[in-house]
């Protein structure tokens, strides 16, 4: 028997695409259409429905970039359609390959009721299940003409990414606005053929595949191509037997959950995301109504809050679907944030703000952290997840690794403190599944835990730009529920999947340390202004809570709960994994920088009000220290009068060989005539920090043109071309009135200039660099190098509530892939007896090389300062940019921690009558992270501390009872501020801490 597989499959594919699919809505009549193009920003739906509409002809161009056009569609159901399912079919000019990345619309009834969205993969709107002939039809479409920025040739330079620079040319041409009969049997036939075509393509040339191919031929023989609807049922009958064959008993099980992964901003601004969420959730609630078993999951409390505020009529439908158990709040975070760059306090608030919202609105507390698409995952997360009450973690992004294949799909992830969280990666390697044959087969074939576990998760739906699950996907899932040759598919809550997976894997494999993404490494540097705004606002939030808490405990100051919540939520939003990493369009980052400025101003006002209450009325200068370490003569997290600050011995400044020598009691530094640091000696040990014959503070410029993903990626070949920026315009030196020695260096290169102030303060081990760059380069990467005379086996880089070690060698492909890595406020390199740290105020990326001359090993650390990618924002980092960083000469991990904290939480001077003692003091082996009042507004005091250097120890917390405020015995609580470990009291005067352990302690307010 001759088997011509391509003949059968080619026949089936052409008939499906050219005859069957068009026949689903073949019986149609045009709707009368009117339109109204808005001149500016979107308007509320109530106003859109009341607009005046002028006649519109289908085929006319519409919609400039970022514009909104309202369409009014009217018509009458033909009498001979009575009793049939009638739908409106609306094609605004869609490209079916770009759902979520081009024009979209939300359809309303005349009374303002939202129906569902329309997009490239979802162009229909239900008018009536059983139509009444002669019934009038009136629909309104709020259509968004979002420009296509990631086209078939991606990463092209475009100025369409900001409404301020986009063109006014109309982008889309409508194709269809019809009323049509929905031929359900034709639709079902299309799904039958599509599922079988994709299934057979994954099967070997055995009996099952051959019988599917024969059934397809038999079905097509029964189908009259000129009368599709009339013969569809007969064709389906020929496929019934192969579709009814049950799956093998050992078949992999896919737990499907509807999904849209709506990026809270990316190639669209936040204001458009708000509408995307409304469009997608309208469609998902409609699909829930149309099905019996479909489940849709959505994370990000922020997105629910947007619908509640901006589309309450949509939110009501979401609430009902949640109550019915079909719309699933998952993830428990405020947004799907970046997890590498935010501080530990920010991650805590992502959890606490998210869980508070879900519990308040739905009475639900999600059990897992759902983060499918973030650019690597901090090793501090397992502890924070567990202490926030989460039971599982889900992501997919690590499958994007350039070099190394991650060895597990279901496993335990162990963090820096030893905490472990049960984790799962979907084995089909996507968070936007459509349940295609290739995806389903891949999920089964490459699942790493096949020996013991039976299944994996599949997030199903069009995503990134939204859209979600379609009725085609739910129809596919129905056919794959129990089908021979395929994995079995069922809609299932992730909690159910994780409970089963834990039972199956009693001894799961363990992955220790960070989940490093071998891709998108440049997200640690792109859009410096956004990253700087985040770092500064994080610190101001912590400081505002500290002083507001202290003032509320000691005065009649009213703690600003609502204001702080709103400001936290704004910063948390901008930690979304395409905003903070610097990978969004210009519009997003322009708004983000402006929001950071507004947030900083509001937080500064809170701080000033609280400090005014604490210092009292007066005109004396009070020095206030928000850091948990001493600085500028002020007590840790307290204040003194400026007259009580001891005088410091000035730094000496002497000329030497065309350069300058800066020295205090601790260190001696040489800055040569080029403004480079050629020597940095720790006077305590006599050790030289700078590698012999080399110079630190060396700015280096690289060509930076990655293979793709411009704002996201830096490819390792960037190192092959480098320019050392050693030429100077001027070098000047002086000692100021505070005894600080200062060397000012100015340089010019390309189209840019740099001005550095190199300073050494009395009593400080840190040589600081204040840098202002007027940056006008293109496709360049600016770094600053510190070749250090330290034989370091590891770098120690700060992360949330601790640090992570990375080896300095590249013995394996796993180490070699980490050629650009992350830090928070410091990175330390050390050998026994001596260490050097680099600290910063807004830098997150660095690289390390291990060098040797005649057996003498040194370590070079380079901080990543600025980039100039051209997609998606062609003006990335252009203009004035500022950095502060420093080299700490002769230090250990605790010293690096304190120096990093001081650089980010500097002392401030205010006017008042007196200083004041700290409300909370800690001692022993812990560092104070935050002081705040409890989220439940009880007035209880919440204090968070952590062990900073990775060793066991003891800590103590003392709370002042000055001015009448009295707090009761301490209790350890979770990150959600609820009793932990059986609500046992904690002896705050002495308690044990493990390496990098985070402890959150609650003191009930009993008086004052």
pLDDT mean values, one per 10 residues, the chain (1008 residues): 86 98 98 96 96 98 98 98 98 95 97 96 97 97 97 93 96 98 98 98 96 98 98 98 98 98 97 98 98 97 98 97 98 98 98 98 98 97 98 97 98 98 97 97 97 97 96 98 98 98 97 98 98 98 98 96 98 98 98 98 98 96 93 82 86 96 98 98 97 98 97 97 98 95 98 98 97 98 98 98 98 98 98 98 98 94 98 98 98 98 95 95 97 97 98 96 78 95 83 97 88
Which pLDDT score, from 0 to 100, does residue 102 have? 95
Structure tokens at 595: 């929001």
Place of tokens 């104070």: 928
Q: Facing residues of 849 across strands?
A: 860
Nearest of 517, 511, 330, 515 to residue 419 by alpha carbon:
511
Residues labelled as active-site residues? 373
Identify the sign of the CA torsion 123, 125, 128, 133: negative
SS3 state at 189: helix
Beta carbons within 8 Å of 490's beta carbon, 6+ residues apart: 253, 254, 255, 256, 293, 477, 481
The answer to whether 78 and 136 have CB atoms below 8 angstroms apart is no
Compute the distance between CA of residue 762 and CA of residue 736 in angstroms, rounded to an integer: 11
Distance CA(872)–CA(588), nearest Å, equals: 11
Tell me how far apart the alpha carbons of residues 244 and 264 are, in angstroms, rounded to a whole number. 42
Cα–Cα dist 254/549, whole Å: 49
CA distance 743 to 756: 8
Tokens for 834? 């001596």
Q: What are phi and psi of 696, to 5 degrees?
A: -100, 175
Sheet of 802-807, strands arranged across = 730-735, 741-749, 752-760, 766-775, 879-889, 834-840, 826-831, 794-799, 802-807
**Residue 22, burial from CB neighbour count under 10 angstroms (0-12, 13-18, 19+):** exposed
Q: Would residue 418 be called left, alpha or beta, if left means φ above 0 and alpha means ψ between -120 and 50 degrees?
A: left
DSSP state of 949: S
**Measured distance CA(611)–CA(614) in Å, rounded:** 5
SS3 852: strand
286-288-294-298 Cα dihedral, nearest 10 degrees = 80
> Which pLDDT does position 962 carry in this prediction?
62
What the block records as the tokens of 284 is: 């998902």
| Beta-strand relationship, 834-840 and 845-853 | unpaired
Residue with token string 């997105």: 303
Kindly report the number of other CB atoms within 10 A of residue 730's CB atom.
Answer: 10
Q: Which residue has the tokens 């960037």?
A: 718
At 423 the three-state DSSP class reads strand
Inter-residue contact 339 to 371 (CB < 8 Å): yes
Dist. CA 129–CA 189, nearest whole Å: 20
Q: How far apart are CA 940 and CA 687, in angstroms?
A: 49
- C-beta of residue 627 within 8 angstroms of C-beta of residue 927: no
CB 520 within 8 A of CB 401: no
Reduced to 3 states (helix: H, G, I; strand: E, B; else coil), residue 119 is: strand
Report how far residue 119's alpha carbon sits from residue 462's, in angstroms, rounded to the nearest whole number: 10
Q: According to the model, what pLDDT value does residue 634 have?
A: 78
Cα–Cα distance measured from residue 106 to residue 112, given in angstroms and rounded to the nearest whole number: 11
Collapsed DSSP state (helix, strand, coil) of residue 98? coil
Nearest to 284 by CA among 302, 267, 261, 305: 261
């Amino acid at each position: 028997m001759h088997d011509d597989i391509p003949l059968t499959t080619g026949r089936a594919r052409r008939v499906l695409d050219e005859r069957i699919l068009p026949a689903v809505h073949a019986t149609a009549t045009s709707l009368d259409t009117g339109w109204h193009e808005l001149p500016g920003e979107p308007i509320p739906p109530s106003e859109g429905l009341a607009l005046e509409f002028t006649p519109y002809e289908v085929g006319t161009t519409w919609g400039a970039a970022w514009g909104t056009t309202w369409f009014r569609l009217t018509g009458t159901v033909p009498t001979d359609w009575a009793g049939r399912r009638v739908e409106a079919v609306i094609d605004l000019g869609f490209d079916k390959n770009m759902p979520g990345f081009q024009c979209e619309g939300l359809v309303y009834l005349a009374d303002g009721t939202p129906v569902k969205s329309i997009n490239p993969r979802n162009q229909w709107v239900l008018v009536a299940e059983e139509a009444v002939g002669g019934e009038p039809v009136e629909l309104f479409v709020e259509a968004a003409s979002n420009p296509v920025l990631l086209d078939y040739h991606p990463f092209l330079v475009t100025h369409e990414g900001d409404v301020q620079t986009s063109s006014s040319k109309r982008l889309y041409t409508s194709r269809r606005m019809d009323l049509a009969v929905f031929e359900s049997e034709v639709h079902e036939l299309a799904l039958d053929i599509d599922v079988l075509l994709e299934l057979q393509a994954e099967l070997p040339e055995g009996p099952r595949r051959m019988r599917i191919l024969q059934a397809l031929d038999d079905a097509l023989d029964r189908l009259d191509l000129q009368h599709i609807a009339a013969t569809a049922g007969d064709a389906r009958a020929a496929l019934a037997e192969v579709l009814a064959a049950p799956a093998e008993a050992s078949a992999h099980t896919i737990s499907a959950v509807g999904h849209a992964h709506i990026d809270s901003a990316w190639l669209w601004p936040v204001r458009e995301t708000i509408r995307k969420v409304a469009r997608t959730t309208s469609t998902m609630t409609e699909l829930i109504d149309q099905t019996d078993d479909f489940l849709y999951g959505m994370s990000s409390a922020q997105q629910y809050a947007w619908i509640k505020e901006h589309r309450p009529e949509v939110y009501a439908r979401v609430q009902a679907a949640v109550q019915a158990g079909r719309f699933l709040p998952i993830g428990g975070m405020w947004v799907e944030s970046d997890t590498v760059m935010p501080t530990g306090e920010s991650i805590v608030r992502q959890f606490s703000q998210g869980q508070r919202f879900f519990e308040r609105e739905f009475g639900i507390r999600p059990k897992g952290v759902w983060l499918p698409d973030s650019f690597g995952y901090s090793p501090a997360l397992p502890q924070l997840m567990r202490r926030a009450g989460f039971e599982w973690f889900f992501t997919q992004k690590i499958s994007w690794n350039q070099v190394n294949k991650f060895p597990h799909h279901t496993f335990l992830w162990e963090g820096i403190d030893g905490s472990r969280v049960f984790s799962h990666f979907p084995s089909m390697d996507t968070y936007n599944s459509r349940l295609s044959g290739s995806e389903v087969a891949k999920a089964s074939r490459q699942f790493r835990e096949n020996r013991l576990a039976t299944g994996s998760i599949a997030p199903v739906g069009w995503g990134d730009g939204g859209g979600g699950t379609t009725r085609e996907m739910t129809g596919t899932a129905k056919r794959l529920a129990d089908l021979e040759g395929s994995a079995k598919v069922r809609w299932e809550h992730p909690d159910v999947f994780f409970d089963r997976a834990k039972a199956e894997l009693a001894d799961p494999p363990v992955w220790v340390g960070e989940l490093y993404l071998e891709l998108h490494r440049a997200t640690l540097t792109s859009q410096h202004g956004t990253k700087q705004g985040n770092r500064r606002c994080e610190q101001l939030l912590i400081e505002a809570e500290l002083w507001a808490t202290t003032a509320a405990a000691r005065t009649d100051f009213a703690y600003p709960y609502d204001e702080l919540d709103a400001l936290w939520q704004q910063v948390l939003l901008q930690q979304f994994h395409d905003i903070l990493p610097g990978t969004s369009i210009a519009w997003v980052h322009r708004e983000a920088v402006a929001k950071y400025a507004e947030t900083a101003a509001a937080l500064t006002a809170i701080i000033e009000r609280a400090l005014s209450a604490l210092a009292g009325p007066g005109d004396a200068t009070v020095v206030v220290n928000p850091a948990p370490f001493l600085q500028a003569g002020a007590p840790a997290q307290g204040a003194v009068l400026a007259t009580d600050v001891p005088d410091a011995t000035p730094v000496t400044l002497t000329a030497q060989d065309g350069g300058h020598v800066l020295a205090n009691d601790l260190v001696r530094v040489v800055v040569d005539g080029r403004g480079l640091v050629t020597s940095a000696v720790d006077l305590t040990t006599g050790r030289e920090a700078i590698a012999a014959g080399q110079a630190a503070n060396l700015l280096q410029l690289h060509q930076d043109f990655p293979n793709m993903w411009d704002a996201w990626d830096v490819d390792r070949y960037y190192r092959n071309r480098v320019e050392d920026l050693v030429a100077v315009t001027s070098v000047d030196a002086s000692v100021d009135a505070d005894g600080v020695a200062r060397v000012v260096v100015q340089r010019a290169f390309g189209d840019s200039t740099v001005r550095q102030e190199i300073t050494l303060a009395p009593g400080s081990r840190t040589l600081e660099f204040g840098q202002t760059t007027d940056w006008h380069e293109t496709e360049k990467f600016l770094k600053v190098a510190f070749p250090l005379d330290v034989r370091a086996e590891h770098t120690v880089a700060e992360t949330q509530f601790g640090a992570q070690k990375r080896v300095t060698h590249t013995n394996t492909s796993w180490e070699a892939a980490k050629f650009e890595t992350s830090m928070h406020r410091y990175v330390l390199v050390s050998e026994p007896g001596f260490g050097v740290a680099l600290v910063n105020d807004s830098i997150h990326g660095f690289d390390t090389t291990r060098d040797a001359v005649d057996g003498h090993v040194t370590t070079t650390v380079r901080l990543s300062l600025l980039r100039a990618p051209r997609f998606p924002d062609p003006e990335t980092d252009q203009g004035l940019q500022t950095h502060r960083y420093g080299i700490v000469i002769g230090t250990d991990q605790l010293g690096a921690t304190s120096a990093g904290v001081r650089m980010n939480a500097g002392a401030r001077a205010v006017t008042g009558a007196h200083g004041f003692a700290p409300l909370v003091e800690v001692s022993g082996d812990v560092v104070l992270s935050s002081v705040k009042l409890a989220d439940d507004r009880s007035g209880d005091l919440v204090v968070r501390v952590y062990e900073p250097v990775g060793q066991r120890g003891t800590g103590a917390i003392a709370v002042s009872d000055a001015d009448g405020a009295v707090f009761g015995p301490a209790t350890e609580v979770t990150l959600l501020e609820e009793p932990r470990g059986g609500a046992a009291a904690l002896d705050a005067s002495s308690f044990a801490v493990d390496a990098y352990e985070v402890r959150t302690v609650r003191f009930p307010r009993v008086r004052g």
